[in-house]
Structure 1
Amino acid sequence: GTMLLATVVASKDAKPGVDFLPLTVDYREKFYSAGKIPGNFFRREARPSDEEILTMRLVDRVLRPLFPSDFHAEVQVMISLISYDKECMPESLAGLAASAAIAITDIPFNGPMSEVTVARIDGKLLVNPSMENLAKADLNIMVGATKDSIVMVEGEMDEISEQEMIEAIKFAHEEIKVQVAAQERLAERVGKSLPKREYSHEDHNEEIREKVWAETFDKVYEVAKTPSAKEERHDNFQAVLEEFLSQYSEEELETVTPYAKIYFHDVEKEAMRQMILNEKIRLDGRTPETIRPIWSEVDYLPGAHGSAIFTRGETQSLTAVTLGSVKDANMVDTVAINYDQKFFLHYNFPPFSTGEARPLRGTSRREVGHGNLAQRALAKMIPTENPYTIRIVSDILESNGSSSMATVCAGT
């Protein structure tokens, strides 16, 4: 009784200057699918809920790496829940729906793929359980995979062993293989799926590539080997590139610069990798085993009910907690669920945290996703008989890796 409508549209050509995959995955739940009317003021489906955004991210995370790395045309995948049966959760089917839509087209894609939810109830593993059964589970993971390999795992569980985790992932993969085989049979019946369209979104200049590698690799290696802060290191790498480009006339630069930037990025990546493997040191001078310096302080804000500042290396979270009454609970209203959430966490990632100046466009998908990650980690620490509504807010003041884990540390 659960039905999803999935569509995909891809531009024929890439836009000039685009050197990445402009993929958009959108997932929306129609309230009519469960015979409900939206509970908001306008009584129509408005901006996506956090739950819909999290589903979009789960699908995007598996689809994105399966497109060829040199394919840069705009791709839009839209998934809608159009009928809902309480026995079958739509989030578990969104990845399958999206992949099936792509599989029957001529869009280049290294799939098909699928995603399944695995739950463990009373020691027994289940695939794609109902919402009711999921509430009883001590393990709840979403696994995305092709027939050959696992692409993504996300979930939560009450402390389990690595062996139990591997069993759950293998269990999911067996089910995914069945779903992938079904998509392959479907694609064969739809003649449009083969051959895949031809495209040329990248051109290369081997002469410039060789010159960039020969003249910059050793210099980049030296910069990487010298311990420095993120901004200083960025400036030093930039100086190496500018020195390389200075040998060309203004006319030549028009042709050379775009290629040089692409190849220089590859040089940076490989030099850092080789340095870690050969010298056993990382960019800031640490060995692979050394953690970044940590300092934290509690009760940092005099006006908040509780607060902490947590810093690890160049990542910093200022986190505050507020206690409220039952009336302050967060109302969660989706097609499948409607309840008052008494513990929730909001994560903010302002542009200044990475030294950028860009416009603020509301809460980003990434902020919703990282907030959810930290919330799930901390939710297990809240006693079930908790009389308060608890809201945690994490403001990232500086970021150089793993700000979501800084949020967990400051939040706890």
Structure 2
Amino acid sequence: MNPKVFSESIKLSDGREIIIETGKLAKQAHGSAVIKMGDCMILATVVSSYEESSVDFLPLTVDYREKFAAAGRFPGGFFKREARPSNEEVLTMRIVDRVLRPLFPKDYHNETQVMLQLMSHDENVMPDSLAGLAASTVLSLSDIPFDGPISEARVARVEGSFVINPSKSQLEVSDIDMMVGASEESVIMVEGEFDQISEEEMTEAIKFAHEEIIKQIKAQKDLAKQLGIPETKREYNKAIEETDLEERIEKDCYDKCYEIAKKGLPKSERSDQFNNLKEELLSTFNEEEIEEKEKLISNYFSKTQKKAVRDLVLNEGIRLDGRKSSEIRPILTETNYLPSTHGSAIFTRGETQALASVTLGTSREANIIDLPTDQGEETFYLHYNFPPFSTGEVRRLMGTSRREIGHGNLAQRALKKVMPIDCPYTVRIVSEILESNGSSSMASVCAGSIALMDAGIKIKKNVSGIAMGLITENDKHAVLSDILGDEDYLGDMDFKVTGTEDGITACQMDIKIKGLKH
């Protein structure tokens, strides 16, 4: 007997159609769907364990793969088989993860795996534009607790007109390349590169994308209704709350946390004082209580610490290092630091430091791109390295992390638009993060811009970058310039933006609350 297939159609503003379909493939997954646009087909699945993991965070994995068979091609290499993900696939995984993660319950710790596979490729469709829609669809069709649906869309501007989910050829002549992730009510994630556009132009592009995203969300809801998916999701082990214990810890520690935060100490001293206060708190419990409730005590202490720091900013406008909300940290720069490189620069902002080097080469040094969806060469690229000593830590040294790939890509996009069109060289920038306390990718942009000039590259404009933060509580809010690492952790948003004196060249927004109005 043939399986019953359910589908919904989404009409884009330019008349093209996206179809979301379920019921035919991968029926043992907790949620599965096929997303179609032209000849492009993405198979999406999600599975989440019914048993809680031992970690105290959401162990969510988003995996996106483009199959060479989808484009009628053989993989390169000796084994002729897909191996580890490409940088482009990793970047898509990160974009999808960032829009999904804030919408899971904070106490949901079951291992969850979203898999997105390009099964058929259409040269006129960029499949990463559909990845967020695919991921949200399968979550909405499952019993996994998820406060969706959401969707993502790419927006470009060609000859003055906005285009949703553009083709690669349209993107090549566009001055905007931006991915937007949103719910029906608000924007959750933004990432893109621009040709020195204004803030107003970026806002208009976000609004345009959001209008199209709302259509995609409606289609997901209609598909779930067709299948009779219940609104009530699966039961899971919710966090145990002890109100009396929470109130005791807040009463004992809030004022002390507030005072430590108000001192404006360096990162290491501040961390030591908070740790000492936590040890002092633990000493007030007996061994039996600690054995039974240590995790809960730590959680409530962290919650109290977070509340104190946020209240200090909202009530007095004072930040952890003593700055006001609009102040940036002291900046030091130095050029031509490395004698044997073609160009180099040190950029230090507070406790964040990047050392950038520039290497010039011939066309033979171009970065070869060989993907199922794209082939060519890259003559300008930036690599970002984040060693553990930059934060005073020891950790296992492995290959390039997803974070390093993502931060390097953002810095590369920030600088790409100011490179001279007639540059005869292949240009490689390497940014080594030597100290980190917030905004290391933005330090890489600043150091990279200076190092390019030190190497004699006639860039169109100098580029700088900064990370902005946000703290919200009911009707109060504070926008923070040049955020620290702790402010990123304790705040509600990390919005990185780069630009010249004429306009924005790149941005990336990571958000922890359910969304922001545009």
Q: For structure 2, which runs of at least 5 residues remain unmatched after alignment?
A: 1-38, 450-518
Amino acid at match of 2:49: S
Matches within 5 A, 1:280-299: 280-299=317-336
Instruction: Find 1:14's aligned residue among 29, 52, 56.
Output: 52
Matches within 5 A, 1:189-208: 189-208=226-245
Task: Provide TM-score, normalisation by structure 2.
Answer: 0.78
CA positional deviation for 1:193: 4.8
Matches within 5 A, 1:8-407: 8-16=46-54, 18-407=55-444
Amino acid at match of 2:278: L
Q: Are the aligned partners of 2:151 and 2:183 in contact in 1 as well (CA < 8 Å)?
A: yes
Q: For structure 1, which runs of at least 5 residues remain unmatched after alignment?
A: none
Measure, in 2, the Cα distance between the counterparts of 1:160 and 1:306. 28
Q: Are the aligned partners of 2:194 and 2:417 in contact in 1 as well (CA < 8 Å)?
A: no
CA positional deviation for 1:192: 4.8
Q: Secondary structure at the match of 1:186?
A: helix
Which deviates more, 253-262 or 187-196? 187-196
CA positional deviation for 1:65: 0.8
Classify 1:45/1:309 alpha carbon distance in 2 versus 1 (closer, same or farther; 3 Å).
same
Amino acid at match of 1:35: G
CA positional deviation for 1:123: 0.8
Structure 1 residues 38-89: Cα deviation after superposition (integer angstroms, max 9, x where no partner): 2233321111111111111111111111112221111100100000011111
Amino acid at match of 2:325: P
Structure 1 residues 311-350: Cα deviation after superposition (integer angstroms, max 9, x where no partner): 1010011111111111111101111211111110000111
Amino acid at match of 2:48: A
Q: Are the aligned partners of 1:104 and 1:193 in contact in 2 as well (CA < 8 Å)?
A: no
Amino acid at match of 2:327: T
Higher strand proportion? 2
CA positional deviation for 1:284: 1.2
Higher helix proportion? 1
CA positional deviation for 1:118: 0.8
Measure, in 2, the Cα distance between the counterparts of 1:239 and 1:117. 48
Structure 1 residues 3-32: Cα deviation after superposition (integer angstroms, max 9, x where no partner): 00111000112123x221110000000011
Q: Secondary structure at the match of 1:397?
A: strand
Q: Secondary structure at the match of 1:13?
A: strand
Measure, in 1, the Cα distance between the counterparts of 2:439 and 2:200. 26
Structure 1 residues 231-264: Cα deviation after superposition (integer angstroms, max 9, x where no partner): 1100101111111111222222212321111011
Measure, in 2, the Cα distance between the counterparts of 1:363 and 1:86. 30
Q: Are the aligned partners of 2:65 and 2:116 in contact in 1 as well (CA < 8 Å)?
A: yes
Structure 1 residues 275-322: Cα deviation after superposition (integer angstroms, max 9, x where no partner): 122332211122223211111111111222211111101001111111
Q: Secondary structure at the match of 2:406?
A: helix
Amino acid at match of 1:306: G
Quote the sequence identity (%): 58
Q: Are the aligned partners of 1:72 and 1:201 in contact in 2 as well (CA < 8 Å)?
A: no
Measure, in 2, the Cα distance between the counterparts of 1:145 and 1:290. 30
Q: Are the aligned partners of 2:333 and 2:345 in contact in 1 as well (CA < 8 Å)?
A: yes
Measure, in 1, the Cα distance between the counterparts of 2:386 and 2:199. 32
Q: Are the aligned partners of 1:139 and 1:158 in contact in 2 as well (CA < 8 Å)?
A: yes
Structure 1 residues 366-402: Cα deviation after superposition (integer angstroms, max 9, x where no partner): 1000000000111112111111111100111110000
Amino acid at match of 1:156: E
Measure, in 2, the Cα distance between the counterparts of 1:206 and 1:369. 40
Q: Secondary structure at the match of 1:120?
A: strand
Task: Provide TM-score, normalisation by structure 1.
Answer: 0.97
Amino acid at match of 1:374: A
Q: Secondary structure at the match of 1:158?
A: strand
* 2:4 counterpart of 1:4: no
Classify 1:258/1:348 alpha carbon distance in 2 versus 1 (closer, same or farther; 3 Å).
same
Amino acid at match of 1:251: E
Measure, in 1, the Cα distance between the counterparts of 2:323 and 2:142. 48
Q: Secondary structure at the match of 2:197?
A: coil
CA positional deviation for 1:194: 4.3
Measure, in 2, the Cα distance between the counterparts of 1:231 and 1:193. 49
RMSD: 1.2
Q: Secondary structure at the match of 1:332?
A: strand
Q: Secondary structure at the match of 1:175?
A: helix
Classify 1:247/1:377 alpha carbon distance in 2 versus 1 (closer, same or farther; 3 Å).
same
Structure 1 residues 73-107: Cα deviation after superposition (integer angstroms, max 9, x where no partner): 11100100000011111010011111111111111
Q: Which residue in 1 is equivalent to 2:482?
A: none
Q: Are the aligned partners of 1:105 and 1:193 in contact in 2 as well (CA < 8 Å)?
A: no
Measure, in 1, the Cα distance between the counterparts of 2:327 and 2:166. 42
CA positional deviation for 1:129: 1.1
Q: Secondary structure at the match of 1:11?
A: strand
Measure, in 1, the Cα distance between the counterparts of 2:288 and 2:106. 30
Q: Secondary structure at the match of 1:155?
A: strand
